[in-house]
Amino acid sequence: MARIVSGLLLATLAPLVHAFDLDELSARLSQPQVVRGDFVQEKHLRALPQPLTSRGTFVLAKELGLLWLLASPLRQDYRIDAQGIARRTKQGWQPIAQRSATAQQNRLFLAVLKGDSSGLREDFELSLSGSAEAWQLELTPRSMLLKQVFSRILIDGGDLVQRIELQETQGDSTVLRLENSRADQSLSDVERHDFQS
């Protein structure tokens, strides 16, 4: 990940100011064992005047993955982990077949939320600006596969990730706002069951 702090400013103020860097951001985001909150996702399509909006809640467990619980426009629960994506059905969690681009996007999403900068460095040029209280990380794709999908990804946050914007090469974009996020040390019994079943 390329570290970004205005070069000239840093050179002149380095003795006076402690710069916030990617290692510190990774350490900060990887601290909580569990993060839970609400999400609002807007899919902006060039062909539509209004974005497609979905809402729900999420639970991110550092060692287990992500529960993505969609509440509207329809109710549907998803689990994203090292094995891929699964959807909850009446028969239990069922894996969803993924194309390689989708699988890579899911891996990226988990890496972002967990603060796994080493995972991101493989696929993106990283540029960090701001402070520990209000930062922005810009990801520019390196691989041809990702360049075909994304022009860039912007991630904003403070103690936790607050907003992710995926800008696609054909002009569409997705904005994901993570609201009322809070860190916790443990999962509920129901959440643990959802991850392990």
> What is the per-residue pLDDT across 137-157, written as a single tens digit (0 to 9) for each?
999 999 888 898 899 999 999
Instruction: Give me the chain's average pLDDT, please.
Output: 84
CA distances from 189 to 3, 24, 64, 91, 186 (A): 40, 32, 14, 20, 9
Q: Are 108 and 100 in contact (CB under 8 A)?
A: no
DSSP 18: P
Higher pLDDT, 143 or 11: 143
What's residue 101's pLDDT? 57
Report which residue type is found at 133. Answer: E
- Is pLDDT at 193 greater than 90 in this prediction? yes
> Could you give the CA distance from residue 104 to residue 140 in angstroms, rounded to a whole number?
15
What's residue 13's pLDDT? 35
pTM of the predicted model as reported, rounded to 2 decimal places: 0.82
Residue with tokens 């209000």: 134
Mean pLDDT of the 158-163 span: 92
